[in-house]
Amino acid sequence: MEAAKGGVEGALPERTKTLVLVAAILGTTVVTIDSTVVNVALPAIAEDLGGGLAGQQWTANAYLVTLASLLLVGGSFGDIFGERRVFALGVLLFGLTSLVCALAPTIEILVAARALQGTAGALLTPAALAVIVATFPPDERGKAVGAWTAWGGIGTVLGPVVGGQLVDAASWRWIFAINVPIVLVTMLLILRVVPAGRDRDPNARVDVVGALLCALGLAGITFGLIEQPLHGWADPVVAGPLVIGALMFAGFLSWEARSSHPMLPLALFRRRNFAAGNLETFLMYGGLGLMFFFLVLFLQQVAGFSALAAGSSSIPVTVLMFLLSMRFGALADRRGPRFFMGVGPLVAATGMALLLWRVDADVDYLTDLLPGLVVFGLGLSMTVAPLTSTVLADADESNAGIASGVNNAIARVAGLVAIAAVGAVVAGVFGAKLEDEIGSTALQRLEVARAVEEAKKQPLSTVAVSGVPEDVETSVDEAAEDTSVHAFRVGLGIATALVALGGLLGLLGISNPRRRVAAADCPGGQLVGHPREGTRQSPCDWGDQARPVALGSGAAGGANAAGRQ
């Protein structure tokens, strides 16, 4: 079967472009689902394969480490070998590794397969976005990216729901096996409809040194951030990888600045929208990761929600993303991205502030959670598609893959960095306030002191104490509840500030690109009259017929025809 030819310039049929978008969505949705689906299956995996707590942790984390650390490399490969080839390779490998995960006889093989699965995800994710960029013209790109982003968000939320159903109804192995038919459909679409893209540049070559430095640097940083909540910053298991990873990544940047064929052209960061857009990505996704991390934890451990209820609480956000993200992307294409990248995060921050004000230990979903989540979802829907498409639009088409990889890596690392750093702050606040609330008299009791020390290891939790008078037990419970609410609000307050700061950066740092005006649509220019473009209407409809023109109206009247900020 032969892929569709052409790209943006080839004016692909609408049906072909739609099927290309479906292929990109299917390919990346399995990646996002698999980042969350495994969490609900970990107890069943441990019961079947053993491995203890360490096996459970690395079943989840092996995937995250390779996915985050290789996204830049995957983006670079797409630019060198062609986004269609790399997309197809990533999808194929993801299907094969999913099959190995489903059939894994031991915990060691499962962890290794999960690491390879993350590698495949790092190949296909930036390539899928680069395929969208290569297929859709600029005036349609925002809407397409909006659909791609919305479905990615749906995959993240659906992961625990689908995984829970499969584990309960059949076996944990089905959470991986279900990827195989999706991969087969995606491969069929890639072979039939995804454009072959541009020919490979014969002078392009793989930046081996840069790829190794980048992968090892991001792997060290990601590993350290994942392990930090378990061991603390001073533990060699955390500090060693963080320091080595930071040094490796600094070496990567130094190498890229001197390399004749850099994997990451650092000149991209001298472009205003690319630099500001990626910084806004870090702030937005850092705040987003913090919000859902602390909210789900608080709802389960303090408010008494079940795991399924807590995980499903964000469904309204996903529904809004699905319904509105494409529409806001299309509006941003017509109006320019600055308004949406500025106002959207501020609306999202307002929703988070509503949660700060309303959520307490006694949570009513309809009155306390839903209003804030709806406002937050509206702001997020305004932001994500314009943010992604603006970053990509500021890169050349030859750098679309690496630009996508940079933006994806920043989005994923932002959540890890924010949760590790702010998590340490929240844990410190929780521990200090818990001791103050309980009081020194109660802490003199050995049972209470032990329970408090145990609770400090798991912030935003109740304090289980027994063997003490009922009034002491009640006062400890109340103190722990008040402390958890306070610590939750500290974490969510920082998340709100990060998202709001992202909005201010969007308003001040993003510039609307000048509109592209097609010269072929206005053959007579200003000499023969006022073209529609001069009055901000398009396209010109007068063709070759000249209109009468008043002396002096031409040049002055069309002064703004080239575009506007």
What would the pLDDT profile of 245-265 be if each residue is shown by its tens digit? 999 989 988 998 888 778 778
Which of 145-154, 383-392, 410-419, 448-457 shows the lowest mean pLDDT across its residues? Answer: 448-457
Which of 96-100, 268-272, 351-355, 368-372 shows the lowest mean pLDDT across its residues? Answer: 268-272
pLDDT at 94 > cutoff 80: yes
The whole-number pLDDT of residue 112 equals 93
Nearby residues of 503 by Cβ (< 8 Å), 6 or more positions away: 341, 342, 343, 344, 345, 346, 348, 349
Q: Which two tokens stand for residue 283?
A: 């702030």
Q: Which of 69-83, 246-260, 513-527 has the highest mean pLDDT?
A: 246-260
> Measured in whole angstroms, how far is the alpha carbon of residue 184 from the centre of its chain?
25
Mean pLDDT of 390-395: 82
CA–CA distance from 552 to each of 192, 418, 558 (Å)? 55, 60, 11
Q: Where are the domains of the chain?
A: 1-195, 264-513, 519-557
Q: What angle do CA 201, 206, 208 make, to 5 degrees?
A: 170
DSSP 8-state assignment for residue 252: H
Radius of gyration of the chain (CA): 26
Shared fold status for 1-195 and 264-513: yes
Estimate the share of the chain in helix, then strand, then coil, as percent rounded to the nearest 5: 80, 0, 20
Of residues 395 and 490, the one with the higher pLDDT is 490
The closest alpha carbon to 110, from 158, 161, 146, 58, belongs to 58
Global pTM reads: 0.72
CA–CA distance from 22 to each of 29, 123, 126, 132, 186 (Å)? 10, 18, 15, 10, 8
The whole-number pLDDT of residue 473 equals 67
Query: For 278-295, b where at least 16 C-beta lie within 10 A, e where not — what string?
Result: bbbbbbbbbbbbbbbbbb
Which amino acid is it at 351? Answer: G
How many percent of the chain have pLDDT more than 90?
24
The structure tokens 């390919």 sit at 27
- The topology under which CATH files domain 264-513 is Growth Hormone; Chain: A; (1.20.1250)
Of residues 521 and 419, the one with the higher pLDDT is 419
pLDDT bin (cut points 50, 70, 90) of residue 454 is: low
Task: Please give the CATH architecture assigned to the domain spanning 1-195.
Answer: Up-down Bundle (1.20)
The whole-number pLDDT of residue 352 equals 95
Q: For all residues of the chain together, what is the average pLDDT?
A: 79
The closest alpha carbon to 302, from 241, 344, 258, 363, belongs to 363
Mean pLDDT of 314-343: 87
pLDDT bin (cut points 50, 70, 90) of residue 198 is: low
The whole-number pLDDT of residue 514 equals 60
The whole-number pLDDT of residue 441 equals 59
- CA–CA separation, 564 and 209 (whole Å): 43
8 A C-beta contact, residue 393 and residue 141: yes
First CA to last CA across the chain, in angstroms? 45
Q: What does the DSSP assignment read for 506-554?
A: HHHH--PPPPP--GGG-TTGGGGS--GGGGT--S---TTPPPP--TTHH
> How confident is the model over 427-453, as pLDDT tens digits?
778 777 777 777 665 666 666 667 666
The whole-number pLDDT of residue 417 equals 79
Q: Which two tokens stand for residue 328?
A: 């806001």
